């Protein structure tokens, strides 16, 4: 019942914060957000699950309750975690708390609504990562979008309305495509449950029937494509990424942190859970185009980042690039590939969160994010700047920081993949991303942080307040700890991903 308690506490916190007057909202929200942090850490400490939740592993903190019975199908309240979802839950709670603190400076209107929505989103995110019944999962999945829509639309930048609607409609249409694909699959299975484990195991047993004129093979392929498209938008991968930079640029800092840090991971998490767990053979059949998309995302995303002048846009596009690695790790379908992809979700969540937060701190002080508008900031706000530099190096995959671990696991996993033809070639191409990422981050840093001090906007620069710096430092510490001791998450991740390899007879070598 700990998951229910966690969800209930978070929802309740959201309601409480909604009801508070503005002046109490920020600190109360922070205080209340520590409850889910503590809860998730408790789950982490007492985690006893083993194996993959969908393929018959031992699910931790599991609850199954009947919910609805409709049209011959049973809908359940079914939650639980395994080694893939637990790290993501921890990431969610941790990042939300920090994002809430980072909102103290930039958010100065309608505070109780803002923090309430943040907590509401956190609750739904926890739901996404713990739900094991499709409908419960889908409700949470979509419910994440609504607070996000408001957070961008109400507190965003000048073009926030365009960005919010684009984000909302784009990702919802993607959800619809995914939903249709999944429904085609489920109605063609001889089961009456929407429990994800049941569906996975039925598919693995080869029980898929016809869907109208579609034979099982074709159906699986169509469903795989629909699911992939649906989740690809969320990730996002090229060419369905264009909502992301708009959303990021317009979103206020804490919202960008959540968007890049956790929301994008929903896409890759779902890809792992659905496409690569339920339909591994299709994943294998489509390996080359997917790997091509992954490489395209990495390189093209990095090239786009290189062309940007807005610091936030740079970080936004670099997310596209980084998430391409995750796709590559998934498609490789090896131990280190799948595990590395999952690890990279966590790592990128922390690092992109740090980057957005650091850029936000700079923006709070300078009121500009354009590379050309400033230089030499290291002189005036040293702590923030040097943490930003550290974050940038983490982004570049500096060893002993979390990003390197994730990327290296993916690369070393995918290089020898037997599922992906020409795996060394794809891996080698994707790895070139680590050069481009260094290029654009170094260029941007050189021009904004270093050199003689200059600022085009009329603001006095002060050292950033402690509550701006503290979350940065916390994130940096987490990144380093995870980079030095990846086994904190790696072992449980591996425990949950290795069973998947049996679906394709081993994967590598």
Nearest to 181 by CA among 269, 263, 278: 278
Q: Which helix (H) or strand (E) holds 79?
A: strand 73-81
The residue among 289 and 506 lying less far from other proteins, judged by its C-beta, is: 506
Lookup result for tokens 């700047």 = 385
The pair of three-digit structure tokens given for residue 282, joined into one six-digit string:
């299709």
Site for other proteins in 249-288 (CB under 8 A): none
DSSP states along 249-309: HHS-HHHHHHIIIIIHHHHHHHIIIIIHHH-HHHHHHTHHHHHHHHHHHHHHHHHHHHH--
Site for other proteins in 73-92 (CB under 8 A): 73
The residue among 407 and 468 lying less far from other proteins, judged by its C-beta, is: 407
Examine residue 56 and tell whether it contacts other proteins (CB under 8 A). Answer: no
Residues 225-254: x where in contact with other proteins by CB under 8 A, - otherwise, as a string: -------------xx-xxx-----------
Examine residue 194 and tell whether it contacts other proteins (CB under 8 A). Answer: no
Phi-psi region of 25 (alpha: psi -120 to 50; beta: other; left: phi over 0): alpha
Examine residue 222 and tell whether it contacts other proteins (CB under 8 A). Answer: no
Q: Which of 158, 190, 206, 452 binds other proteins (CB under 8 A)?
A: 452
- Which class for 377: exposed (0-12), middle (13-18), buried (19 or more C-beta within 10 A)? buried
Question: Which of these segments, 91-99, 272-280, 356-364, 422-430, binds other proteins (CB under 8 A)?
Answer: 422-430
User: What are the E-state strand segments in 223-327?
Assistant: none
Q: Which of 446, 457, 463, 465 binds other proteins (CB under 8 A)?
A: 446
How far apart CA 69 and CA 59 sit, in angstroms, is: 24
Site for other proteins in 454-483 (CB under 8 A): none
Q: Which of 30, 94, 170, 269 binds other proteins (CB under 8 A)?
A: 170
Q: Which helix (H) or strand (E) holds 184?
A: helix 160-187
The pair of three-digit structure tokens given for residue 15, joined into one six-digit string:
């309601």
Task: Check if the beta carbon of residue 440 is closer than 8 Å to that of residue 305.
Answer: yes
Examine residue 506 and tell whether it contacts other proteins (CB under 8 A). Answer: yes
Examine residue 427 and tell whether it contacts other proteins (CB under 8 A). Answer: yes
Residues 484-503: x where in contact with other proteins by CB under 8 A, - otherwise, as a string: --xx--x---x---x--x--
Taking the complex as a whole, how short is the minimal distance between the CB of residue 66 and other proteins, in angstroms?
A: 9
16 — phi, psi (to 5°)?
Answer: -60, -45
Q: Which of 268, 308, 321, 366 binds other proteins (CB under 8 A)?
A: 308
Taking the complex as a whole, how short is the minimal distance between the CB of residue 138 and other proteins, in angstroms?
A: 5
The residue among 37 and 156 lying less far from other proteins, judged by its C-beta, is: 156
């Amino acid at each position: 019942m700990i998951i229910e308690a966690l969800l209930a506490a978070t929802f309740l916190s959201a309601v409480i914060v909604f009801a508070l007057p503005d002046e109490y909202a920020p600190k109360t929200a922070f205080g209340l957000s520590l409850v889910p942090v503590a809860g998730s850490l408790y789950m982490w400490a007492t985690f006893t699950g083993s194996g993959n939740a969908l393929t018959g592993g031992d699910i931790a903190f599991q609850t199954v309750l009947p919910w609805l019975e409709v049209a011959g199908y049973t809908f359940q309240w079914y939650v639980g975690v395994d080694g893939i979802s637990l790290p993501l839950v921890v990431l969610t709670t941790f990042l939300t708390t920090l994002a809430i603190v980072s909102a103290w400076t930039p958010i100065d209107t309608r505070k109780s609504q803002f923090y309430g929505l943040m907590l509401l989103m956190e609750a739904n995110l926890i739901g996404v990562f713990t739900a094991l019944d499709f409908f419960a999962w889908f409700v949470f999945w979509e419910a994440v979008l609504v607070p996000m829509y408001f957070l961008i639309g109400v507190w965003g930048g000048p073009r926030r309305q365009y960005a919010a609607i684009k984000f909302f409609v784009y990702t919802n249409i993607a959800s619809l495509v995914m939903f249709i694909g999944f429904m085609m699959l489920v109605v063609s299975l001889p089961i009456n449950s929407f429990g994800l484990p049941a569906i996975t195991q039925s598919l693995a047993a080869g029980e898929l029937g016809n869907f109208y004129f579609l034979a099982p093979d074709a159906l699986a392929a169509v469903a795989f494509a629909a699911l992939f498209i649906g989740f690809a938008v969320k990730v996002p991968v090229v060419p369905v990424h264009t909502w992301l930079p708009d959303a990021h640029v317009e979103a206020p800092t804490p919202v960008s942190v959540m968007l890049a840090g956790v929301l994008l991971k929903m896409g890759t998490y779902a890809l792992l859970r659905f496409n690569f767990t339920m339909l591994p053979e299709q994943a294998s059949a489509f390996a080359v185009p997917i790997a091509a998309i992954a490489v395209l995302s990495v390189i093209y995303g990095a090239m786009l980042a290189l062309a940007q002048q807005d610091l936030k846009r740079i970080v936004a596009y670099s997310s596209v690039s980084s998430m391409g690695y995750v796709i590559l790790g998934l498609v490789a379908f090896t131990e280190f590939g799948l595990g590395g992809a999952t690890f990279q979700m966590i790592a990128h969540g922390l690092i992109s969160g740090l980057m957005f937060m650091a850029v936000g701190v700079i923006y709070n002080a300078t009121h500009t994010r354009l590379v050309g508008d400033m230089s030499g900031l290291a002189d005036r706000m040293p702590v923030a700047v040097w943490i930003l530099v550290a974050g940038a190096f983490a982004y570049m995959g500096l060893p002993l920081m979390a990003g390197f671990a994730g990327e290296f696991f993916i690369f070393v996993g995918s290089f020898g993949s037997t599922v992906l033809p020409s795996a060394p070639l794809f891996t080698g191409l994707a790895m070139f991303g680590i050069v481009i990422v260094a290029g654009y981050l170094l260029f941007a840093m050189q021009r904004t942080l270093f050199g003689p001090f200059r600022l085009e906007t009329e603001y006095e620069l002060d050292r950033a307040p402690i509550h701006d710096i503290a979350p940065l430092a916390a994130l940096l510490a987490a990144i380093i700890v995870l980079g030095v001791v990846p086994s904190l998450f790696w072992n449980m991740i591996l425990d949950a991903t290795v069973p998947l390899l049996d679906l394709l007879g081993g994967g590598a070598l």
